[in-house]
Amino acid sequence: MCGIFAISAKENIVDDLFLGTFYLQHRGQKYCGLSTYDGKGINIRTHRGLVRATFTNDLVGMGGTMGIGHTSLLDRQPVKLDSKMGEFTICFEGNIINRKELIDDLKKQGHSFYSDADIEIIAKLIAQGDDFVDGIERMAAKVHGAYALVILTKGKLFAARDKHGFRPMVIGQRDGAVVVTSESCSFVNLGFEIIRDVKPGEILEIDNSRFETKKIIKADLVQYCTFEWVYTANVASIIDGQSVDIARRNLGAALARRYPVEADIVAAVPNSGIGHAIGCAQESKIPYDNVFIKYDYASRSYTQPTQAERDREAKIKLIPIPAKIKDRSVVICDDSIVRGTQMKNDLVVKLRKNGVKQIHARVACPPLKAPCMYGVATRSKDELAAHKKSIEQIREYIGVDGLAFNTLDDLGKALGRPLDQICTSCWTDIYKV
Ligand code: SF4
């Protein structure tokens, strides 16, 4: 997963670019980068680490009226290319499925590669176009996979979303400034209003703080990533018209309706389980309370790049509150169960050690059965608990008194979308495109 941010304004954009990218930090914590156009040339800087920690004292010389920013768990972006259309910088979120075939093709055409990153393939394909819109169209015709991208040239920005709309992208506006970004949570404190989502397949040109649709590449199927609402996106964001907060509450309420249970409190695995737990508590009329606090200085475990880092982060991030646990029956809500090891080795151990009476786990999405091919950090099929085990076997394995998952139908209803308009590959192991 990554976060992308692009801005065109009448004034210097550097503060907005820095903060807008900072508000996408939850989408990737390993690398970050900014690029600006200052009227003469394109500046680019990338860092290993977090936006605030690395860029606070490194914005000198990054001014201009246009810029793009990136947060990533995988690689350094933006990248810069010099092409027949001139210099440009580009960053993207997503995943190319047919990358090997594309690299082989490009090598046959005489291209060399400095990395094996998807962004290099995308940039080289786009650079073959007669202009940037044509280049994006040519790239879109060859790439099988998911992408949302932004391009900074000397004088214009371009933004594009893949024809199925896997990765989110939204347009915002403030007096004299236009922004395109992964999530609308980056608008709120910067004073931007949501105009609309970028349409699946849409290519936008942005300059002088206005935007124009240059093309819409049509597809039979829209496939918004369901995981955005369940886990990935910030709770303050509105993704493709649906509030993440409301979607999570709906998912929690659906769990309470379908799997009623007697308990003293409903609690969350923070932070992403909080919305689900509040919805579950409101629907079941069981009081909501905290049994764990997520330590403020811990990162998201799911978005760490390696399994060892994910395990380490998962282990340190949750601190139990003993007084809330002892002798209580707890309904504990989480967004998903991947391998089940975190719940077994960390949550359940901490709850039992603190004298919990009963643990009833409620999971917002159905059992995960397949890895994501479209750009969300995930595991191999064999690592997924539900790939080999039944729900009863998972319950036994993690050691809880009760375990229930939302059904696929309830998931679609909670998001207010027909199942054919959202990607459900994680749970069905069927890749529709
Ligand atoms: S497979 Fe899962 S994580 Fe990947 S795009 Fe589909 S819903 Fe999202």
What architecture does CATH give domain 2-219?
A: 4-Layer Sandwich (3.60)
| Helix, strand, coil in percent for the chain, rounding step 5 | 35, 30, 40
Answer whether residue 313 shows pLDDT above 90.
no
Domain boundaries, the chain: 2-219, 243-428
Rounded mean pLDDT of 120-140?
A: 97
Q: Is the pLDDT of residue 328 over 90?
A: yes
- pLDDT for 257: 98
Which residue out of 2, 32, 91, 185 is catalytically annotated?
Answer: 2
2 is catalytic: yes
What does the pLDDT read at residue 83?
96
Residue with tokens 């980056």: 186
- Written out in words, the top-level CATH class of the domain with range 243-428 is alpha beta
Pocket of ligand 1 (CB under 6 A): 166, 225-227, 372, 374, 376, 423, 425-426
Sign of the alpha-carbon dihedral angle for 77, 3, 189, 333: negative
> How much is the mean pLDDT over the chain?
94
Query: Residue 145 Cα, ligand 1 centroid: separation in angstroms?
Result: 11
Q: What integer pLDDT is reported at residue 1 of this predicted model?
A: 80
pLDDT exceeds 90 at position 298? no
Written in H, E and C, the secondary structure of 123-171 is HHHHCCCCCHHHHHHHHHHHCCEEEEEEEEECCCEEEEECCCCCCCCEE
Percent of the chain's residues with pLDDT above 90: 86
CA of 233 to the centre of ligand 1 (A): 13
- Averaged over 407-433, what is the pLDDT? 94
**Which of 167, 231, 372 has the most ligand 1 atoms within 8 A of CB, as the residue to mutate?**
372
Residue closest via CA to ligand 1's atom 8 equals 225
SS3 179: strand
Kindly report the protein residue whose alpha carbon is nearest to atom 2 of ligand 1.
426
List 362's β-bridge partners, or say none. 333, 404
Predicted pLDDT at 300? 67
User: What's the mean pLDDT in 319-326?
Assistant: 96
Of the listed ranges 34-38, 101-105, 211-215, 369-373, the one predicted with least confidence: 369-373
- Grade residue 301 by pLDDT with cuts at 50, 70 and 90: low
Residues found in the chain:
433
State in Å: Cα 228 to ligand 1 middle. 8
Å from CA of 422 to ligand 1 middle = 9
The whole-number average pLDDT for the span 147-155 is 97
H helices within 206-265, ranges in order?
227, 244-258
Count other Cβ atoms within 10 Å, centred on residue 171.
23
